[in-house]
Amino acid sequence: MKHASDLELIELVAGRLPADRQEAVEAHLAACDECSRRRDAVRQTWDALGDWQIPAGRDLAPAVQAAAAREAAASSRRLPLLLRLAASILIAVGAGHVAGRLAAPALHPVRPATAADEEAAAESLSLGVLEQVSPTGLPETLLGVEEPPDEEVS
């Protein structure tokens, strides 16, 4: 068998090689001083790492549950606030729309125009100038006044 790989030696020392593989590697180590020394070095490192243990501390459950409950409460407070805000906007828009519809006739009363209204409007726009004879003939075009046909020159 070829030499054991570094990873095989690590897993052998960790006790996590599959049984058939473990048997094969151990058989090789029994006959190979070089791999046997490498295995010993891995074991020395493995055992040294095992010296560093972390003692158990306090129970975290009460603090975790309290923090989670605070978060859940804050989140449930945020949701109604958003809902209230959305509802306020909808109500404001709806009320504004209805108020606008109701107020419109009072603010802008609509009645048919009378002849006096038309005269006042024509005067304010100085439409009288259009009645004057213009060399361009534009007023006649705008007012729809028919020009008399040119007299044929005989």
Partner 1 sequence: MSTEPPDEKLMADLAAGDMAALGALVRRHQDALVAFAARMLGRRDLAEDVAQEAFVHVHRAARRYRPEAKFTTWLYRIAANLCRDAQRRASRAPASLDEETAPGRDPGPDPLEARERIERVRRAVAALPERQRLAVTLHRYQGLSHREIAQVAECSESAVESLLVRAYAALRQALADLKE
For binding to partner 1 (CB under 8 A), which residues are involved? 6-7, 10, 14, 16, 41-42, 44-61, 63-65, 67-69, 71-72
Contact between 14 and 42 under an 8 Å Cβ cutoff? The reply is: no
> 56 or 102, CB closer to partner 1?
56
- Looking at the Cβ atoms of 48 and 129, the one nearer to partner 1 is 48
Helices 6-14 and 19-31 pack at an angle, to 10 degrees, of 110
C-beta closer to partner 1: residue 45 or 134? 45
Buried residues in 112-134 as b, exposed as e (16+ CB within 10 A): eeeeeeeeeeeeeeeeeeeeeee
Measured in degrees and rounded to the nearest 5, phi and psi for residue 115 equal -60, -35
Least CB distance to partner 1 at residue 12 (A): 12
Instruction: Output the smallest distance, CB 58 to partner 1, in A.
Output: 7
User: Please, what is the minimum distance in Å from the beta carbon of residue 30 to partner 1?
Assistant: 22
